[in-house]
Homo-oligomer: A and B are copies of this chain.
Amino acid sequence: MSDLLRPVSTPDLAASAGRLREALRQSPPLTHCVTNAVVTGFTANVLLALGAAPAMVDIVGEAEMFAGVASGLLINLGTPTPEQRAASVEAVTGAAASGTPWVLDPVAIGVLPVRTTLAHELAARRPTAIRGNASEILALAGHTAGGRGVDATDGTEAAAGAAQELARTTGAVVAVSGPVDLITDGDRVVRIANGHELLTRVTGGGCALGAVMAAFLGTARQTGDDALTAVAAATLVYTVAAEHAAPVAAGPGTFAVALLDALDAVTADDVAAGARVSEETR
């Protein structure tokens, strides 16, 4: 951990997360996803379970206008076909014109050239948040050649400096997923120690979190919360739900199913009771 960071008191991030969770349930954010073919069904189910309204609109000629009416937008680069690449650019244009908050998930960049180029272009267009594993964040910040896929090959803390740098360069809140999730706006650094190893054994375990962040950013726009709070809330709600799901699972198959049930059930009180969150400011 950088010695530029010092602990500060953050008693109410968990409380804010719980408040946003209930606000989302009361007023489902229309969450526009341009996401990869592997996880699109699971991602929609995660959003529906949580109480959000998913819309997987990745068609050229539709994505721009839809991003303008959506509450939040996810651009996930996991399977970037030519149609999806063009639709992603359209969607970001629509989001920018309307102020729709959006999340960039640069899946497997570094190693794979087509998405790497696109990720750098999109990162320059001021995403509200960027979510990735340590390898992807390091690659997007220009530090390494990146990951070999959606698996992290670098530890979360190894990307802490790169995450802060990337946040300052892009203006985005940057979230590094891993055993401890690290979230930063360049100055504040939040660490969340919730979650469960089984999340890494389900395809879309990370990708769906990007969609949840887009949903919470949509809700935060209504409640007036900032982006760091929204991204931390998404992570807390999702990872606390994962902790509720794990004990009723017999393996990765039942875990994925139980996670959906838990996302439906999880309350503000559950988040407050379960959150393991700390914050430091540089």
A interface residue numbers (CB < 8 A to B): 30, 36-42, 44-45, 48-49, 53-62, 65-66, 69, 78-83, 108, 111-115, 148-151, 200-204, 249-254, 256-262, 264-265
Contact = CB atoms under 8 A, between A and B. Distances in A.
Given A45-B203, A62-B114, A252-B264, 5 more contacts: A30-B149, A57-B112, A59-B80, A252-B261, A254-B257
A111 B202 CA distance: 34
A83 to B, nearest CB: 5
A220 to B, nearest CB: 20
B115 A264 contact: no
A251 B203 CA distance: 20
Contacts of A49: 201, 251-253
A111 B66 contact: yes
Contacts of A65: 111-113
A63 to B, nearest CB: 9
Nearest to A33: B38
Contacts of A56: 36-38, 78-79
Given A38-B41, A112-B62, A53 B264 contact: no
Contacts of A61: 113-114
Q: With a 10 A CB-CB cut-off, give which of A45, A114, A262 has the most chain B CB atoms.
A: A45
B59 A81 contact: yes
Contact of A81 (B38, B48, B83, B254): B83
A110 to B, nearest CB: 12
Contacts of A252: 45, 48-49, 260-261, 264
B38 A38 contact: no
A40 B251 CA distance: 20
A36 to B, nearest CB: 8
Contacts of A81: 59, 81, 83
A254 B108 CA distance: 31
Nearest to A39: B41
A253 B261 CA distance: 5
Given A59-B112, A203-B44, A256-B45, A53 B261 contact: no
A276 to B, nearest CB: 24
Contacts of A204: 41
Q: With a 10 A CB-CB cut-off, give which of A37, A66, A253, A265 has the most chain B CB atoms.
A: A253
Contact of A38 (B40, B66, B256): B40
A251 B61 CA distance: 36
A265 B253 contact: no
A11 to B, nearest CB: 31
